[in-house]
């Protein structure tokens, strides 16, 4: 009994809008990033150099900047206090690379200022990881047992609750990412690093990237609704027997 999970049923229609949104967001960020890698800056204005300037100007000279492998694998590690930039961003002297580097520097500024949503996100990572790993096994076991025992309802509920933790993490991530972009753009504008048009380009790159987080949350919420509907259907079938 795996109704609604491994083959088509009407509840799958619920997730389709979120999937389409995700495809659009991924296309948007790739095309926008590609476009603004063509907008070159002076050779000395690489992503690493601009990030270094932002960090130093805010009293974070102790935060190292390291190159890492991968495309757009850029991130700030609040535990080790290290800013890591992908090779193309680290060495890139274009509007897109500088915008991404400044965004990651924005996360370092959040950490230094004790930005509450960032601290909260860090605190819930272990619990959310456990929930993400347990969600589908619990739900699927409950769905297998749906026609056999009332325990199935509790297992499906536990799976849904665990899945909710990952959705909640995506929700908490939104203000963290948007705030980092605002900090980045303020730093770029305040330091005179970019002209008006160049700053506008970086804003478009960061806005496109932010949409991927919104899309992930949308898919998560719609998937959560689908699990609830599947569980309710399985439970009602059992009770009607």
Active site (annotated) includes residue 104: yes
Q: Residue for token digits 């370092």? A: 108
- Name the active-site residue from 104, 112, 177, 197: 104
What does the angle CA 84 – CA 188 – CA 115 come to, to the nearest 5 degrees?
60
Name beta bridge partners: 40. 94
Distance CA 203, CA 178 (A): 11
Name the residues annotated as catalytic: 104
């Amino acid at each position: 009994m795996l109704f609604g999970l491994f083959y088509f049923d009407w509840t799958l229609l619920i997730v389709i809008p979120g999937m389409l949104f995700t495809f659009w967001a991924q296309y948007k960020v790739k095309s926008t990033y590609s476009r603004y890698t063509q907008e070159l800056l002076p050779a000395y204005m690489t992503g690493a150099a601009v990030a270094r300037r932002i960090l130093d100007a805010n009293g974070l000279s102790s935060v190292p900047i390291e190159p890492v492998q991968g495309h757009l694998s850029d991130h700030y590690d609040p535990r080790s206090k290290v800013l890591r930039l992908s090779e193309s961003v680290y060495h890139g002297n274009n509007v897109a690379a500088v915008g991404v580097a400044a965004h990651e520097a924005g996360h370092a500024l959040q950490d230094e200022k004790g930005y509450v949503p960032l601290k909260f996100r860090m605190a819930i990572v272990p619990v959310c990881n456990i929930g993400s790993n347990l969600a589908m096994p619990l739900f699927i076991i409950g769905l297998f047992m749906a026609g056999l025992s009332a325990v199935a309802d509790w297992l499906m509920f536990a799976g849904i609750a665990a899945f909710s933790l990952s959705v909640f993490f995506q929700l908490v991530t939104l203000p963290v990412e948007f705030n980092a972009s605002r900090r980045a753009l303020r730093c770029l504008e305040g330091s005179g690093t970019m002209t008006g048009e160049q700053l506008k380009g970086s804003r478009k790159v960061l806005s496109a990237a932010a949409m991927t987080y919104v899309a992930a949350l949308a898919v998560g919420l719609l998937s959560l609704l689908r699990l609830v509907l599947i569980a309710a259907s399985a439970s009602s079938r059992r009770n009607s027997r």
